[in-house]
Amino acid sequence: MLGSTLLAVSRNPLARKAVTALPPTRRVVDRFVAGEATADAVAAADRLTRSGLMVTIDHLGEEVRDTDAAVATTKAYVELLGALAPLGLGHRAEVSVKLSAVGQALDDAMALEHAREICEAALSAGATVTLDMEDHTTVDSTLGILRDLRADFSDVGVAVQAYLFRSEADCHDLRDSRVRLVKGAYREPASVAYQKKNDVDLAYVRCLKVLMAGAGHPMVATHDDRLISIAELLADRHDRPRDTYEYQMLYGIRTDKQQALANSGALVRVYVPYGDDWYGYFMRRLAERPANVAFFLRSLGVGTLPLVNKRDSNSSHTGRRTS
């Protein structure tokens, strides 16, 4: 119930104004967002990769409704990739792109053109690109743009949200590709997505089985210890070397687990968001984990005991999921 309420609030302009106006909010946002400027994202990438982690960087923003905003987002990614290039990180750094932020809501051809420009910049920087997945109405469009991009950029990845009924079939189609598997972070109707946590977890495992059996590069996006253990078992079952799959976790969440996995020899990539349009992302992070809500409310001086549900403390990120 709490998660559904927060997902609804994430799209409410009045709630956005109220939350962003609270002085303590910025302190909490800093836990989940690397900063607002390109330099902040590059500094975070440098720090994380020096500690043995990898990064995927998301310039925050979505659902742009005018061409100028789509162009500005595209330029921001090109600038970011240009700034990353001197670090020589190669595939240890990539960018995550929401197609709605580069014009998908206006025209698929526009989104494809802008995504292609970002892929060109990534190629020049030695980096890669993963397309974030958004609500269910955009899935077919996103997969269509992915197919077009892969004609020239074969390593472009995509996120798949396990809670959608269609996702297991999508994983079969994508089993030889780079796929970030997330649980899902948008408020979806019961007609298209599982609603109960246990059903979502089971769907995640089914999708993971498909990807681990394929010839692609599964990107296991979760903070859930149970799912991490299952991923390891499946990798062993299919004789996968540890460099043929990776774990992905959100910036600022379970940093100790991120480092422990990396120290054990696993590939671990941190999803690093930056930019000033952080509200929607921030609210989805609160919706995913009641522990995050508790952290936020404590920062505001509000009691939280009734809100914390320990059973949900290891919920996964999406795609952005989480992207």
Query: Which residues are annotated as part of the binding site for substrate?
Result: 98, 284-285
The set of long-range contacts for 167-172, using a CB threshold of 8 Å and a minimum separation of 24, is 167/203, 167/207, 168/203, 168/206, 168/207, 168/210, 170/139, 170/143, 171/207, 171/210, 171/211, 172/210
Place of tokens 């903070």: 223
150 is catalytic: no
The alpha carbons of the chain give a radius of gyration, in whole angstroms, of: 18
Query: Hey, what are 102's tokens?
Result: 């580069």
DSSP symbols for 114-161: HHHHHHHHHHHHT-EEEE---SGGGHHHHHHHHHHHHTT-TT-EEEEE
Annotated catalytic residue, options 132, 135, 170, 201: 132
Q: Which residues are annotated as a binding site?
A: 98, 133, 161, 183-185, 197, 222-223, 284-285
Distance CA 59, CA 273 (A): 6
Sign for the CA dihedral angle at 38, 158, 189, 197 comes to negative
Q: Is residue 108 among the annotated active site residues?
A: no
Angle of CA points 113, 117, 121, to nearest 5°: 165
Q: Which of 92, 180, 254, 289 is catalytic?
A: 180
Give the tokens for residue 169.
């079939």
Measure the CA–CA gap between 162 and 182, rounded to whole angstroms. 6
Helix (H, G, I), strand (E, B) or coil at 281: helix
**Structure-block tokens of residue 104:** 């998908």
| Catalytically active residues, by annotation | 132, 180
